A and B are shown apart, each in its own frame.
Chain A
Amino acid sequence: MSEQPLLLEAHEVAKHFGGVKALQDVSLTIRRGEIYGLIGPNGAGKTTFFNCLTGLYKNESGHFVFDGVRLEADAPHKAAAVGIARTFQNIRLFGNMTAIENVMVGRHLRTRAGVLGAITRNAATRAEEAAITRRAEELLHYVGIHERAHDYAKHLSYGDQRRLEIARALATEPKLLALDEPAAGMNGTETEALRVLVEGICRDGVTVLLIEHDVKLVMGLCRRVAVFDYGEKICEDVPAVVQKDPRVIEAYLGGSVA
Chain B
Amino acid sequence: MKKEEQITGRQLLTMAIMAQLGIEVLSLPHQLAENAGRDTWLSVLLSGLTAQVGIVLLWWLGSRYPTRPFYAYSSQIVGRPLGAFVNLAYGCYYAFSGFVVTALYCNTLKRWMFVITPDWMILMMLLLICGYAATSSLKRLAFISQSFMLFPVICFLLIAFSCLYGMETRNLLPVLSEGWTPVMKGIYFAFSAYVGYDLLLYAFPYVKGGKRKVLGIMSLANTCTMLFYIVVSLICTTMFGQKQLLLIPEPIVFILKNYKVEMLQSLDILFLIFYVCIVSATIYVYFYLSAKSFQNLSKKGVGKQSVWVWVIVALCLLGSFFIDEQHDLTQTSSFQDKLSILFVVGLPLLLLIISGIRGTGRRSA
Chain A complexes with chain B = no
A residues near B, CB below 8 A?
none
